[in-house]
Amino acid sequence: MVNEPHSASNGSASSRSDGSSSGSEGSKDSSRCSTPVLDAERHERLREKMRRRYDSGDKWFSLEFFPPRTANGAVNLISRFDRMGMGGPLFIDVTWHPAGDPGSDKETSSMIIANTAVNYCGLETVLHMTCCNQTKEEITGHLQKAKHLGLKNIMALRGDPIGEEWEEEVEGFNYAVDLVKHIRCEFDDYFDICVAGYPKGHPEAESYEADLRHLKEKVSAGADFIITQLFFRSKTFLAFMKDCQAIGITCPIVPGIFPIQGYHSLRQLVKLSKLEVPQEIKEVIEPIKDNDAAIRNYGVELAVSMCRELLDSGMVSGLHFYTLNREVATTEILKRLGIWKEDPRRPLPWAVSAHPKRRVEDVRPIFWASRPKSYIHRTQEWDDFPNGRWGNSSSPAFGELKDYYLFYLKSKSPREELLKMWGEELMSEESVFEVFTCYISGEPNKEGHKVTCLPWNDDPLAAETNLLKEQLEKVNRRGILTINSQPNINGKPSTDPIVGWGPSGGYVFQKAYLEFFTSSENITALLKVLKTKKYELRVNYHIVNVRGENITNAPDLQPNAVTWGIFPGREIIQPTVVDPVSFMYWKDEAFALWIEQWAKLYEEESPSRMIIQYIHDNYYLVNLVDNEFPLENCLWQVMEDTFELLNCPTEQ
């Protein structure tokens, strides 16, 4: 019943966790834990996450991507990361393209794509790196850069030698094992290292057995796990795995799955990997080689049945997918296997970043709710992140946002589409009201185009905002141009499909929030309403124009918690606040988006552009919080009262 005796005399407390399998992080030498652990995995390195899944028997998958060729390709790949990230991959990996200046700052480089995946999409990411034909200094430079960007995992590869006449260099990097050794030597245990395994032996190896020995050398040199080259039959992998175990390779070996998605991609890959396609597959494919859909369907079937065999073998807990940067086939396979997360649990109400220095971050201002990548970008130079309480940690100011062109901050829609949605030609401020109203209602605009994004919201309305749709539509029609809102919530289960977040068994709460642009006439009426006794103590407001002229009733410029959660056996989590100080930084960005994203669609001095410019110069940005979260949201009544006052100007 009892366990290890506790020494009461030396002043340090130790205790064992009984009934919970997890560790006792940071509690031995301090009187308290160093960080709260809402989501244990967020604090683990990849090999620990893998181990946790292995121990629990939970199946997992990972996804391989290659860097895009063009800037547009980068924008698309990042939205693919966001979408496929929803399915819950344990990690993604980005291949290293020696010909594409892979370590550079170009938006299409391997380094920058991996950086974006980690920091902006919050994905655990493995960056491939090859070593042949590179100097030690170049490789160290790449590794240092990767570390600085928050990358924690490297897939160490030899890479393809350039030219036919490749010769081993003395003291050079000739094999992946040299790179593994170099990483461990220069960076100690910082990186988790993955190496490649060849179920049929490396094409250049003297023999299958010799290749196995090379693999063992890579593991002995410090690799943490193995991902295999593609194969066509499950028995190929299972035999390989047994052979690995027989020679003492004990680390995880993850099968690489290549869903056949087309005739040409298969041929190309086979040529590169020097693998032979089994006769039974060839026989099916050849007759349908011009029917892409048929080949993909076959590829899905084939992959599903092979994956099932692997998972059923009891030797495999994770599957690695060569996606070829495509979504449909892999997603379908994962769904059919039942390992795609249909209802991803949100650890926090906003998308977390996977940079190690942001591990403890658990509070953000609500303003960037629809622009999390911009928030991450503007705070990337911070050395520490608020944790537990916004007001608690001191951090440098927000960076200015001038980099609207950065591919991970750009709108996914091209200019022509934006013009269709937001109007080729604006006639008046009312045309702008209509755009906002259509975005909320989902109805097409006068030209018949649906408005699926706004400069402040690059995605369609969130499920939670949908709860407020009717009221939002009404106020937007009247020139209350809403860009952010949330309903009040008085203790819904943390598993609620719409507003839930965090571990199960908890309760989540929200204060009603509304943020909008509106004209100075409306502001005059609104302020009169807000200062009536009815709302004075109940509603906190911040009202600011582009010049920073600011009106607020926030006590002592303190932040106001607007989302919080209570969980079993945890401290309170309060992930979003309305912070008066950061609101002044947000307003710079919110006003600039009128110009950067909208006005600039039109010719200079065109009437359309002047209308947007007028709004930018003259409207106010307002945020309202209803502090009475247990009562019915009063912010709609505030709006009603304001409209009423505007309708009866004599009573002013």
Residue numbers 615-634 binding a copy of itself by CB under 8 A: 625, 627, 629-630
Q: Which of these segments, 45-53, 132-140, 251-259, 538-546, binds a copy of itself (CB under 8 A)?
A: 538-546
Question: How distant is the alpha carbon of residue 241 from its chain centre?
Answer: 33
Binding-site string for a copy of itself from residue 17 to residue 56, where x marks contact by CB under 8 A and - marks none: xxxx-xxxx-x--xxxxxxxx--x----------------
Helix (H) or strand (E) holding 482: strand 481-486
Q: At residue 382, what is the residue type?
A: W
**Quick one: which of 148, 271, 446, 547 contacts a copy of itself (CB under 8 A)?**
547
Binding-site string for a copy of itself from residue 477 to residue 496, where x marks contact by CB under 8 A and - marks none: -------------xx-----
**In angstroms, rounded to a whole number, what is the distance separating the alpha carbons of residues 323 and 265?**
11
Is 589 annotated in the active site? no
Sequence length of the chain is 652
Q: Given the complex with a copy of itself, which of 141 and 505 has the nearer CB atom?
A: 505
Q: Is 170 in the site for a copy of itself (CB under 8 A)?
A: no
If you search the block for the tokens 């290749």, which residue do you land on? 211
Q: Which of these segments, 45-53, 218-226, 263-271, 567-575, binds a copy of itself (CB under 8 A)?
A: 567-575
Region of residue 209 (phi > 0: left; psi between -120 and 50: alpha; otherwise: beta): alpha
Cβ-based neighbours of 424, under 8 Å, separated by 6 or more: 447, 608
Judged by CB under 8 A, the chain residues 361 through 390 that form the site for a copy of itself are 386-390
Cβ-based neighbours of 609, under 8 Å, separated by 6 or more: 599, 600, 602, 603
Q: Is 14 in the site for a copy of itself (CB under 8 A)?
A: yes
Cβ-based neighbours of 114, under 8 Å, separated by 6 or more: 94, 125, 127, 146, 149, 151
79-83-84-87 Cα dihedral, nearest 10 degrees: 160
Minimum gap (Å) between residue 467 Cβ and a copy of itself:
21
Q: Is 352 in the site for a copy of itself (CB under 8 A)?
A: no
Minimum gap (Å) between residue 593 Cβ and a copy of itself:
14
Helices 208-220 and 176-187: crossing angle, nearest 10°?
10
Buried b (16+ CB within 10 A) or exposed e, 378-400: bbbebeebbbbebeebeeeebee
Minimum gap (Å) between residue 388 Cβ and a copy of itself:
3
Q: Which of these segments, 277-285, 293-301, 326-334, 563-571, binds a copy of itself (CB under 8 A)?
A: 563-571
**Quick one: which of 557, 607, 617, 644 contacts a copy of itself (CB under 8 A)?**
557
**In angstroms, rounded to a whole number, what is the distance separating the alpha carbons of residues 167 and 228?**
26
| Alpha helices (H) in 86-192, listed in sequence order | 110-119, 136-148, 176-187
Q: Which of 25, 48, 64, 283 is catalytic?
A: 64
Q: Which strands form 364-365's sheet, in the order they lie side by side?
A: 364-365, 573-578, 560-566, 507-510, 489-493
Strand partners, 127: 94, 154
Total number of residues binding a copy of itself (CB under 8 A)? 101
**Quick one: which of 207, 268, 392, 532 contacts a copy of itself (CB under 8 A)?**
392
Q: Which of these segments, 104-112, 123-131, 315-323, 394-402, binds a copy of itself (CB under 8 A)?
A: 394-402
166, 205 Cβ separation under 8 angstroms: no
**In angstroms, rounded to a whole number, what is the distance separating the alpha carbons of residues 345 and 574?**
17
**Quick one: which of 270, 570, 600, 645 contacts a copy of itself (CB under 8 A)?**
570
**Quick one: which of 265, 411, 550, 613 contacts a copy of itself (CB under 8 A)?**
550
Q: Given the complex with a copy of itself, which of 294 and 581 has the nearer CB atom?
A: 581
Cα angle, residue 146 at apex, residues 143 and 151 outer, rounded to 5°:
125
Minimum gap (Å) between residue 397 Cβ and a copy of itself:
5
**Of 527, 523, 544, residue with least CA distance to 536:** 527
**Quick one: which of 400, 459, 617, 644 contacts a copy of itself (CB under 8 A)?**
400
Q: Is 574 in the site for a copy of itself (CB under 8 A)?
A: yes
Q: Given the complex with a copy of itself, which of 266 and 578 has the nearer CB atom?
A: 578
Q: Given the complex with a copy of itself, which of 32 and 446 has the nearer CB atom?
A: 32
Q: Is 292 in the site for a copy of itself (CB under 8 A)?
A: no
Minimum gap (Å) between residue 587 Cβ and a copy of itself:
8
Q: Which of these segments, 236-244, 319-327, 457-465, 540-548, binds a copy of itself (CB under 8 A)?
A: 540-548
Helix, coil or strand: residue 444: strand
Minimum gap (Å) between residue 387 Cβ and a copy of itself:
6
**In angstroms, rounded to a whole number, what is the distance separating the alpha carbons of residues 273 and 229?**
8
**Quick one: which of 314, 338, 555, 649 contacts a copy of itself (CB under 8 A)?**
555
**In angstroms, rounded to a whole number, what is the distance separating the alpha carbons of residues 91 and 61?**
8
Cα angle, residue 275 at apex, residues 272 and 279 outer, rounded to 5°:
130
Judged by CB under 8 A, the chain residues 587 through 606 that form the site for a copy of itself are 587-588
Judged by CB under 8 A, the chain residues 508 through 537 that form the site for a copy of itself are 509, 523-524, 527, 531, 536-537
Binding-site string for a copy of itself from residue 99 to residue 118, where x marks contact by CB under 8 A and - marks none: --------------------
If you search the block for the tokens 């005796």, which residue do you land on? 5
**Quick one: which of 279, 394, 647, 650 contacts a copy of itself (CB under 8 A)?**
394
Minimum gap (Å) between residue 13 Cβ and a copy of itself:
3
Helix (H) or strand (E) holding 485: strand 481-486
Active site residues: 64
